[in-house]
């Protein structure tokens, strides 16, 4: 892919709290996401969690797609609920930044791909709610929290099947209506936002994927395809399809903006 035509993808970060006398607050994110996106043709733009909408908007205006990674729990205040003891560590700066970016992108029809926490964030940004802890709030829940632990679980473990709804964008991208997935979460989508539809379900009925009710490329999955992309072509296809959509956005933007205005 010619460098000039590669789409720029926003990749949000997470807060690493200060270690007194050793390290100030930092913004971090797994290299796995960046490497997987780059392998599919993206130019990643790591996004800081600044309380500065003007700067964030300037970043957003320069990207062709938004990628929402996994991470810590979403603060229930984001969906107007009180935090229970079952809710884990949250990152309010991240919630604010990602909700803003997701809202802008959905309004502008700019492509979005979201994984795990990111899929939950998509629904929250559009007005949905979450189960703060599946074991405590979702009767009949299967085990979803296969968090990596040496000698017990890895990020590549395929731990449960997912039924993909036929004739959805997700089914077309994956080329199948059933996949085995990894699973590293204890929260899940409770009330789905009205602008999204569920496109995949776990055996216990929990929503495992979401997409836009329109034809816009807004796609979220509850598992971690970036950890499977090197060995599972179906998982790689999620990133390839996203980058293709972002490339289409970039091409469409260049057609809309006069050459003199874009410096070419």
Are 6 and 95 in contact by the 8 Å Cβ rule? The answer is: no
Q: For the chain, what percentages of helix, strand and coil (3-state, to nearest 5) are there?
A: 35, 25, 40
207 forms beta bridges with 201
Residue 252 C-alpha from the chain's centroid: 23
Q: What's the domain range around 202?
A: 3-262
- 169: helix, coil or strand? helix
**Burial grade of 196 (CB within 10 A; 0-12, 13-18, 19 or more):** buried
Residue 170 C-alpha from the chain's centroid: 14
Helix (H) or strand (E) run with residue 14 in it: strand 14-16
For residue 105 the two structure tokens come to 């992108």
Tally of domains within the chain: 1
Active site members: 116, 224, 226
* Residue corresponding to tokens 């996106």: 37
Q: For residue 48, what is the DSSP state? A: P
pLDDT confidence of residue 34: 98
pLDDT in tens, 89-104: 999 999 999 999 999 9
pLDDT confidence of residue 129: 98
pLDDT in tens, 29-88: 999 999 999 999 999 999 999 999 999 999 999 999 999 999 999 999 999 999 999 999
Are 119 and 142 in contact by the 8 Å Cβ rule? The answer is: no
Handedness of CA 109, 76, 184, 32 (dihedral sign): positive
pLDDT in tens, 118-161: 999 999 999 999 999 999 999 999 999 999 988 889 999 999 99
Question: CATH number for the domain including 179?
Answer: 3.40.50.880
């Amino acid at each position: 892919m010619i460098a000039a035509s590669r789409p720029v993808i926003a990749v949000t970060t997470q807060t690493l709290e200060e270690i007194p006398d050793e390290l100030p607050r930092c913004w971090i994110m797994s290299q796995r996401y960046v490497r997987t996106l780059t392998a599919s043709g993206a130019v990643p733009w790591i996004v800081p969690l600044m309380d500065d909408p003007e700067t964030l908007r300037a970043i957003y205006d320069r990207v062709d797609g938004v990628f929402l990674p996994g991470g810590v729990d979403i603060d229930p205040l984001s969906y107007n609920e009180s935090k229970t003891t079952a809710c884990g560590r949250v990152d309010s700066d991240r919630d604010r930044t990602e909700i803003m970016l997701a809202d802008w992108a959905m309004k502008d029809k700019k492509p979005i791909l979201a994984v795990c926490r990111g899929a939950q964030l998509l629904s929250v940004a559009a007005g949905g709610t979450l189960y703060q802890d599946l074991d405590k709030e979702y009767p009949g829940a299967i085990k979803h929290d296969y968090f990596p632990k040496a000698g017990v679980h890895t990020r590549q473990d395929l731990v449960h099947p997912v039924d993909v709804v036929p004739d959805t964008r997700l089914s077309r991208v994956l080329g199948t209506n059933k996949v085995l997935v990894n699973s590293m979460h204890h929260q899940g989508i409770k009330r789905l936002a009205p602008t999204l539809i569920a496109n995949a379900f776990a055996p216990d009925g929990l929503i495992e994927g979401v997409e836009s009710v329109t034809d816009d490329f807004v796609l979220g999955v509850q598992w971690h395809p970036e950890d499977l992309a090197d060995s599972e072509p179906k998982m790689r296809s999620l990133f390839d399809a996203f980058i293709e959509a972002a490339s289409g956005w970039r091409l469409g933007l260049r057609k809309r903006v006069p050459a003199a205005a874009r410096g070419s």
